[in-house]
Amino acid sequence: MGEHIVSETNLKSMSELVSLCKRRGFVFQSSEVYGGIGSCWDYGPLGVELKNNLKQSWWKSMTLRDDVVGLDASILMHPLVWKASGHVDTFSDPLVDCKNCKQRFRADHIDLKKPCPNCGTRDSLTEPREFNLMFKTQMGPVEDASSMVYLRPETAQGIFVNFLNVQTTMRKKIPFGIAQIGKAFRNEITPGNFIFRTREFEQMEMQYFVAPGTQRDFFNMWQELRWNWHVSNGMRSEKMKWFQHPEDKLAHYADLAFDVYYEFPMGWDEIEGIHSRTDFDLKGHQELSGKKLEYVDQATNQKYLPYVVETSVGCDRTLLALMCDAYRTENEGDKENERVVLKFHPKLAPIKAAILPLMKKPELEEVASKLHKDLQENYKTDYDVTASIGKRYRRQDEIGTPYCITIDYDTLQDQAVTIRERDSMTQERIALANVKKYLMEKFKF
Ligand code: GAP
């Protein structure tokens, strides 16, 4: 084919990715026809496939083991949950306003001695004040103080308040964990960088309940497992690093915390947090609810409140990191051979294979659509007959499809097809009857 890779460059700016996401149906601005709404995004047909594949990868890694079970708790919870968890009193960021342009900033994100970063006015910033990040809403038809509820700012509390329900019904012995995927909401002062920091996002969290005194060993275990999970999704480990929270910056519930950082085009930032939460949450709920939440060790008859090691990863943020990581421009400036390719791990790729009849001819399309239907029983596949074959390959490269299968006139004679692999662009001739088996071999993860 004469296609060869001479040079390869990484994603240079977030705007490049934002534009691909819109152009190819990964992510759209929410309510775009009304001019959009701040920091809210909608996942398009390819984005939702990618996101589901990512969630599935996490869910499998967490629950296909004996010591972790799943949960799906509701978003709205009793308001006292957030009192006991400390979120009502301490889940806030320091906020400053510019008296001139009215823009708001997080005090810890700007230099308070300098002029306003937005309008440049001197001495216009107010003193910092604490701004609680929880969204409030009303439950039921009467709007008064007693009907006020919060949108959960983390999924974790649904797990803490269900700790004994899960432990007793599943007859779990400590150590064991509970895993959950769900939406969380934070009224961030300065959201931004596309889907990196938004006010509505999805978390994938796992709380691991351990005997007091054993938390450090399990912390180390989960640190290693979580790092390996990111690598197993194809993320380059040289673009990842650990960041330990300094003691004076720990969240209100943690006595030790390490974040997984990824090197985004705008710099290094957090994608996941591993936290040692002690018995802070269970103790808080036990005290405020008046209900005992202790674990009874059947072997020793000991009763205690377990300690918790938490792994908390943002689904949207990890998806963004994976897209940044997969994005490559090859042969830049060489008009004929330049291409943008998303080198997703095949298990995450939204479309697993594209079926491409060489030309729009009934005899080719008949074979191609039969193959498409057959493969669709197992995989999300695409069928494309528009434009030149080169253009169609480029389109599939840009959305990260691992395999393109071309049906040409030779197929009608030899009952074989050409399979092109995305990254190497090498092509193989495979018998039509063996295509499904070939893909099954490739997609064995
Ligand atoms: N339960 C612990 C907890 O919520 P966190 O460090 O506040 O810990 C965990 O959040 C993860 O959730 C972060 O590492 C990030 O990936 C994601 N996350 C937090 N706030 C976010 C936001 N505003 N937008 C997108 N993702 C967010």
Q: Which of the four pLDDT bands, split at 50, 70 and 90, describes residue 2? A: very low
The 10s digit of each residue's pLDDT in 230-276 is 999 999 999 999 999 999 989 988 999 999 999 999 999 999 999 99
What is the CATH classification number for the domain harbouring 385?
A: 3.40.50.800
Is residue 236 one of the residues assigned to a domain? yes
Is residue 142 one of the residues assigned to a domain? no
Tell me if 202 CB under 6 Å of ligand 1. Answer: no
Sign of the torsion angle spanned by Cα atoms 110, 250, 322, 155 = negative
Residues 359 and 406 placed together within one structural domain of the fold:
yes
**Ligand 1 centroid from CA 373, angstroms:** 40
Tell me if 151 CB under 6 Å of ligand 1. Answer: no
What pLDDT sits at residue 1?
Answer: 43
Strand residues in 107-192 grouped as ranges (E): 129-132, 136-138, 148-150, 176-185
What pLDDT sits at residue 25?
Answer: 97
Q: Which of 240, 312, 320 to mutate to test the pocket of ligand 1 (most atoms within 8 A of CB)?
A: 312
Mean pLDDT of 427-438: 98
Q: What is the pTM of this model?
A: 0.96
Residues 251 and 378 placed together within one structural domain of the fold:
no
The 10s digit of each residue's pLDDT in 111-168 is 999 999 999 999 999 999 999 999 999 999 888 888 999 999 999 999 999 999 999 9
In ligand 1, the atom with minimum distance to the C-alpha of 275 is 2
- Report yes or no: 60 and 126 within 8 Å, Cβ to Cβ: no
Residues 39 and 178 placed together within one structural domain of the fold:
yes
Q: How many domains does the chain have?
A: 3
Structure tokens at 205: 């969290």
Residues 301 and 370 placed together within one structural domain of the fold:
no
Residues 31 and 180 placed together within one structural domain of the fold:
yes
Is residue 376 one of the residues assigned to a domain? yes
Residues 234 and 358 placed together within one structural domain of the fold:
no
In ligand 1, the atom with minimum distance to the C-alpha of 154 is 4
Is residue 346 one of the residues assigned to a domain? no
**Ligand 1 centroid from CA 372, angstroms:** 40
The 10s digit of each residue's pLDDT in 351-388 is 999 999 999 999 999 999 999 999 999 999 999 999 99
Is residue 141 one of the residues assigned to a domain? no
SS3 233: coil
Residues 397 and 422 placed together within one structural domain of the fold:
yes
DSSP 198-221: -SEEEEEEEEEEE-TT-HHHHHHH
Is residue 117 one of the residues assigned to a domain? yes
In ligand 1, the atom with minimum distance to the C-alpha of 199 is 23
Tell me if 197 CB under 6 Å of ligand 1. Answer: yes
Residues 192 and 105 placed together within one structural domain of the fold:
no
What pLDDT sits at residue 5?
Answer: 79
Is residue 379 one of the residues assigned to a domain? yes
With a CB cutoff of 8 Å and minimum separation 6, the contacts of 177 are 62, 67, 68, 69, 206, 207, 208, 209
**Ligand 1 centroid from CA 18, angstroms:** 21
Residues 221 and 277 placed together within one structural domain of the fold:
yes
346: number of Cβ within 10 Å: 21
Tell me if 156 CB under 6 Å of ligand 1. Answer: yes
Of 101, 132, 163, the one marking the end of a domain is: 132
Residues 67 and 162 placed together within one structural domain of the fold:
yes
State the Cα–Cα distance between residues 395 and 126, nearest whole angstrom: 50
Residues 42 and 158 placed together within one structural domain of the fold:
yes
Of 308, 324, 340, the one marking the end of a domain is: 324
Tell me if 311 CB under 6 Å of ligand 1. Answer: no
Mean pLDDT of 48-65: 98
**Whole domain around residue 367: which residue ranges?**
351-442
What pLDDT sits at residue 360?
Answer: 96
What is the CATH classification number for the domain harbouring 300?
A: 3.30.930.10
In ligand 1, the atom with minimum distance to the C-alpha of 155 is 1
In ligand 1, the atom with minimum distance to the C-alpha of 156 is 1
Residues 292 and 155 placed together within one structural domain of the fold:
yes
Mean pLDDT (the chain, rounded): 96
Closest by CA position to 291, among listed 281, 283, 301: 283
Is residue 84 one of the residues assigned to a domain? no
Tell me if 272 CB under 6 Å of ligand 1. Answer: yes
Structure tokens at 269: 């930032």
